[in-house]
Chains A and B, each alone.
Chain A
Amino acid sequence: MEALQKLGRMPTGLAVPAFAILLVIFGIPIVQLFLISVNAPSFSVVNYRAFFEQGATVFVLFQTIEMSVVATVVCLIIGYPTAYLIVAAPKSVRTTLIVLVFIPWLTSGLVRTYAWTVILGDHGLINNLLLHLRLISDPLPLLYNRLAVYIGMVHITLPIMILPLVSVMQGIDKSLMAAARSMGARPSAAFWRVFFPLSLPGVRSGTLLVFVVCLGFYITPQALGGLRDAMLSNFIAAQLASSLSLAPIAAAAFILLAIAVVMLSIFGLDVSGTPHETAQPLRKSSPYRLRALGRLLQYLYEIGIRYRANRWTVHLYQPIGNSGRSKIVGAVFVLLVMVYLLFPGLVVVIMSFSAGPFLEFPPSGLSLQWYRSFFGDPSWTLAFWDSLQIAVTVAVLSTVAGTLAAFGLSRTYPRLRVFLMMVILTPITLPAIVVAVAAYLGLINLGLIGTKAGIVLAHTILAIAYVVVIVAATLANFDRRLEQAAKSMRAGPVRTLVRVTLPLIRPGIIGGAVFAFIASFDEVVVTSLVSGFSIRTLPLKMLENINQQLDPTIAAVGSLLTLLPVLWLIALYLTWWRSKLKLQGASANQIA
């Protein structure tokens, strides 16, 4: 108890568990890798010079940054309105939409990338449809170019953008908007001056995550792109497949990391800063805007209560653009985004019923043989259970450690916070294969190669990054005075945490946990190394299949994984419906 109180008084100490895991599994070996990259103990920059002397590598480095920036911007442009509309929707619709956004993530990235070749291919769905309608006479080159790469990249990263936005937007007090509009602010003004600044932490953390994830992309540009559309990770993977030496790979990775650090410090890494302190460097006019908001609120209080009540009955808690037309536009937009997110998954589901021996669309015949092949083969079902166990453990471990760390970071000096945040983000910024080598070295030191505990720890260093960024974004809008109020009423730090703070940042914590779960459940590169060839997780099994066989079992697995959240949704609705019935029954009884 005393220890807990001590921790409560020393907020930065909360970050210790997360950083301890990071240091042992990743931090020490990454220093080793750095020493390798400078050819210690003789120390030379020959690997770095070799990197810059090759024009192609530098070109691809810039291309990697360019592609990541474009994909991130597109994600933001699509993701922000989507998140906004999701939050504005009634609760039941909102839950469904959030689940739908996540369904694509449960189908392995490899399978989804393959689905895009089916959709965009020269004899793919779109071209066949257009040819059939005689709108074109020759197939359009939709695949094997930069556009296809962007389509695939945004498809994979859009959920990473939407989730932090939703968890931040859910925490925004909507009466502020209502207040602004009741003062006569037009919907657009209320949005830009009140809602948007408050949602900035979500924008910042979503952008950050998407950008660093994009930097490490490898399979998507290779499968969907043309010859020129290579990214740095493609070069690194080729190096790994042809060279015995880790030094050039390590050098390339540290150059990428350095670029990421520079870009992110320009962008602003301070996810958990309050909007007030972080909005300033971004937009000079924001102090004015905030002052305007203050005046607006002040004015609000001066208005007669009766008048205010009248206005509020009309406007309170209503989204902007309440008119019928903008509602339709919003619904159509969300529908299009959902089609984009879910259509490749649908293609996968259809292919899973194929009677042929390979993945194909449309299937040459229908059968359940690939489901039988999944359930009949213990190596598949075992892999599924192993993956599930590992992912749940990772989710619990990283959510606890990550949430504590986010707390600690949000209460420390901004400079230190930015530095520590970059440290936390390093595992997802570096190309996965480099993280894999580092984790391998870290786990060898602990004797944990080839154990589930080892895989859990290796996944946790990745998952913590997601949790910290998302929870920190939610904390940015958290009003610390609520905690002070609780404490002034003699609530201890633990009680304050459990009764006040945790309930308020719950959306962020749940979002972080979901991310952590999926980050582990879908992870393949790091696992392939640290599993020591003794544990086969589901993604490893799927990778092995897609590399060699390309049979529809992987589509069946993808479909089953998609089915799980859908079943969960149905169960959720059933319980809502039943409790509603019960309530109605109870009230009916009372009346009788």
Chain B
Amino acid sequence: MNQSMNRRRFMQAASSVMTVGALSSGATQVSAASSGELRLNMSAGNFGEAVMSAFVKPFEAETGIKVTPVYQDLRVAQVALMVKTNSVTIDAILINQPNALSLAANSYVEKIDYSIHKQQELDGIVEYCKHPFGFGSQIYSMNIVYNTNKFPANKPRPTTWAEFWDVDKFPGTRALPSGQFGFPAPWEEALLADGVVKDALYTNDIDRVFASLDKIKPHVRKWWTSGAENLQILRDEVADIALSYDGRALALIDQGAPIEISRNQAKLMWDYWIVPKGAPNAQNAQKFIELVGRADRQAAFAQLFALSPSNRRAYELMPEKVTRKLATYLDYVASSYPVNGEWYAQTGSDGLSNSQRLIQRWNGWIVR
């Protein structure tokens, strides 16, 4: 009796795990679907608080839907596991571009329902944030950040990646993000330092990336692996020049830390809101995504947390002193470039995505 039970359970689970997208399998549905609920996954901290007050509170007031925030870093394999085993407990997830796109490519996510968005709002949204399977509401950037004690205003300061790489002209310790996750990573910066122009960054020249990284490797004190570590490295002055998120650096500048951001050659990035297949409250998630696209909500958000709105019309609703801090402020647009998430998620003939190819290369490179 007992044995046959185990065997049945095993067969059940095995079939639900191994058959990709077998949504009809008999696995347990974990959370009950209900019309008045929405479970959101996002980062915690000041960012999460800003999402709550700029987006979630107005959404609840407008729709009467009860929102439960789930603050947890979700790995892409975890999302895939939830969908495959038909045990999705989250309705909308904010996830980085390559991960969102590879989930989309494997049909793990619902299409974004743009029909419920107002045309006027949609027209304001920058093109790259309106993906069929994901919607970007905020844009941030990765930049050169230097210590102003080490590089005071009356002396030359490193403002290009070539100068970041130039350890003779700009001596000092460096910090770069680790490439272990494939994204975000210093690939584009390595190419820019080597003289590649920003329109020609995504051409599969992985050898050139690592040849350039070879040159900077001995001067990098720490290859950071998370946003919190990024912040800690700037604050503890581990490095004199770092590749850093603008948000982390701005938080420290507000605290009076002796650092400055160079917006030149900035890499613009954004995360996508996605709706996993089988989400119990997918309809509500679509409604929420409509709200986060509105200019007034995005302007409210940017004033709480310095991330750029994806809706250009939001700029008209904010004072100059706020917009100057944002990655897509008009003066910075010409010198920055949007990251190409599609390229990262692109899969070659061997079944590996460019992200995975870079990870393998990175793993070999670090132990050399």
User: Which residues of A pack against B, CB within 8 Å?
Assistant: 23-24, 28-29, 31-32, 35-36, 40-41, 54-57, 59-60, 63, 114, 117, 121-124, 144, 222-223, 227-228, 230, 234-235, 237-246, 249, 356-360, 437, 440-441, 444-445, 447, 449-450, 528-529, 532-534, 540, 544-551
Contacts and interface: CB of A to CB of B under 8 A. Distances in A.
A230 B231 contact: no
Interface in B246-285: 255
B216 to A, nearest CB: 12
5 contacts: A54-B363, A56-B363, A56-B366, A124-B236, A234-B180
A436 to B, nearest CB: 9
A324 B81 CA distance: 63
B195 to A, nearest CB: 25
B10 A32 contact: yes
A234 B106 CA distance: 25
Contacts of A55: 364
Most chain A beta-carbon contacts within 10 A, residue among B70, B77, B255, B355: B77
Contacts of B356: 242-243
A437 B81 contact: yes
Interface string B107-136: 010000000000000000000000000000
B351 to A, nearest CB: 9
B44 A449 contact: no
Mostly, the A contact residues are: helix
B40 to A, nearest CB: 10
Given A447-B28, A546-B228, A550-B231, A246 B223 contact: no
Interface in B335-368: 353, 355-356, 359-360, 363-364, 366-367
A242 B182 contact: yes
Contacts of B221: 122, 144
B235 A59 contact: no
A441 B84 CA distance: 11
A115 B355 CA distance: 33
Interface stretch (B45-53, B199-207, B286-294, B319-327): B45-53
B75 interface: yes
Contacts of A447: 28, 30
B12 interface: yes
Given A28-B13, A144-B222, A117 B359 contact: no
Interface of B: 6, 9-10, 12-14, 16-18, 27-28, 30-31, 39, 41, 43-48, 70-73, 75-78, 80-81, 85, 87, 89-90, 98-99, 102-103, 106, 108, 178, 180-183, 217, 220-223, 225-229, 231-232, 235-238, 255, 353, 355-356, 359-360, 363-364, 366-367
A222 to B, nearest CB: 6
Contacts of B81: 246, 437, 440
A272 B9 CA distance: 34
Contacts of A123: 236-238
Greatest chain A CB density within 10 A among B16, B180, B182 is at B180
| In the A-B complex, the 3 residue pairs with the closest CB atoms | A548-B45, A549-B45, A56-B363
A191 to B, nearest CB: 43
Contact of A548 (B30, B48, B77, B90): B48
Given A240-B76, A241-B181, A449-B89, 17 more contacts: A28-B9, A56-B360, A122-B221, A238-B359, A239-B77, A240-B78, A441-B85, A450-B89, A532-B30, A532-B89, A544-B71, A546-B228, A548-B44, A548-B71, A548-B228, A549-B45, A550-B231
Given A24-B6, A234-B180, A540-B72, A444 B28 contact: yes
A238 B72 contact: no
Contacts of B45: 544-545, 548-549, 551
